[in-house]
Amino acid sequence: MTDSFIQLNTGQNTNINECAQLQVTIKCTSAPSALDVSCFMVNEAGKVPSDDYFVFYNQKADPHQSVLLQQVEDWQSTFVLDTHKLRQASVEKCVFTATLDAGHTFANVRTCQAVVQAGSQQITYEITQATAETALIFIEVYKHRDGFKVRAIGRGFFGGLKPLAESYGVEIESNDASEAEQALIQAQAEVAASSSQTTAPVAESVPSPPPLNLTKIDLLKHKVTLSLQKKKVEPIQARVAVVFDASGSMYHLYRKGIVQEAFERILAIASAFDDNGELDVWFFAKDFLRAPSVTAQDFENYITRTYTLGSKGGTNNEPPVIQDVIRKYTVEEPNVKIPTYIIFFSDGGVSQKGKISKLITESSTKNLFWQFVGLGRANYGVLENLDEMKGRFIDNANFFALDDISKISDEELYDRLLNEFPSWIKEARAKGILG
Using 50, 70 and 90 to split pLDDT, how confident is the model at 10? Answer: confident
Cβ atoms of 153 and 130 within 8 Å: the answer is no
- Alpha carbon 136 to its chain's center: 15
For residue 413, give the H/E element and its range.
helix 410-417
Answer yes or no: is pLDDT of 191 > 50: no
Lowest-pLDDT range of 133-142, 213-222, 277-286: 213-222
Using 50, 70 and 90 to split pLDDT, how confident is the model at 308? Answer: low
Q: What is the pLDDT of residue 393?
A: 94
Q: How far apart are CA 137 and CA 114, in angstroms?
A: 10
More confident residue, 221 or 435: 221
Cβ atoms of 387 and 398 within 8 Å: the answer is yes
The three-class DSSP label of residue 236 is coil
CB atoms within 10 A of CB 367: 25
Angle at 349 between CA 344 and CA 354, to 5 degrees: 80
Answer yes or no: is pLDDT of 408 > 90: no
Q: What is the pLDDT of residue 225?
A: 85
Using 50, 70 and 90 to split pLDDT, how confident is the model at 220? Answer: confident
**DSSP result, 41-103:** EE-TTSS-SSGGGEEBTTB-B-TTS-EEEEEE-SSEEEEEEEHHHHHHSS-SEEEEEEE--TT
Answer yes or no: is pLDDT of 178 > 50: no
Q: What is the pLDDT of residue 202?
A: 34
Using 50, 70 and 90 to split pLDDT, how confident is the model at 173? Answer: low
Answer yes or no: is pLDDT of 175 > 80: no
**DSSP result, 285-303:** SSSEEEEEEE-GGG-TTHH
Span 20-26, mean pLDDT?
A: 96
| Share of residues in the chain with pLDDT > 70 (%) | 87
Q: What is the pLDDT of residue 194?
A: 39
Instruction: Give the pTM.
Output: 0.55
Q: What is the pLDDT of residue 256?
A: 85
Q: What is the pLDDT of residue 274?
A: 83
- Mean pLDDT is highest, among 15-19, 208-212, 352-356, for 15-19
Answer yes or no: is pLDDT of 348 > 60: yes
Alpha helices in 89-214 (DSSP H): 161-167, 179-198, 200-204
Q: What is the pLDDT of residue 248?
A: 82
Cβ atoms of 245 and 285 within 8 Å: the answer is yes
Q: Catalogue all structural domains in the chain, each as residue range(s) with its CATH number.
A: 4-168 (2.60.60.30), 216-431 (3.40.50.410)
φ, ψ for residue 309, nearest 5 deg: -60, 140
Using 50, 70 and 90 to split pLDDT, how confident is the model at 314? Answer: low
Answer yes or no: is pLDDT of 397 > 90: yes
Span 142-169, mean pLDDT?
A: 86
Span 114-121, mean pLDDT?
A: 95
Which residues lie across from 112 on neighbouring strands? 127
Which residues lie across from 36 on neighbouring strands? 99
Span 80-89, mean pLDDT?
A: 95
Q: What is the pLDDT of residue 315?
A: 77
More confident residue, 276 or 12: 12
Which residues lie across from 81 on neighbouring strands? 22, 67
More confident residue, 302 or 316: 302
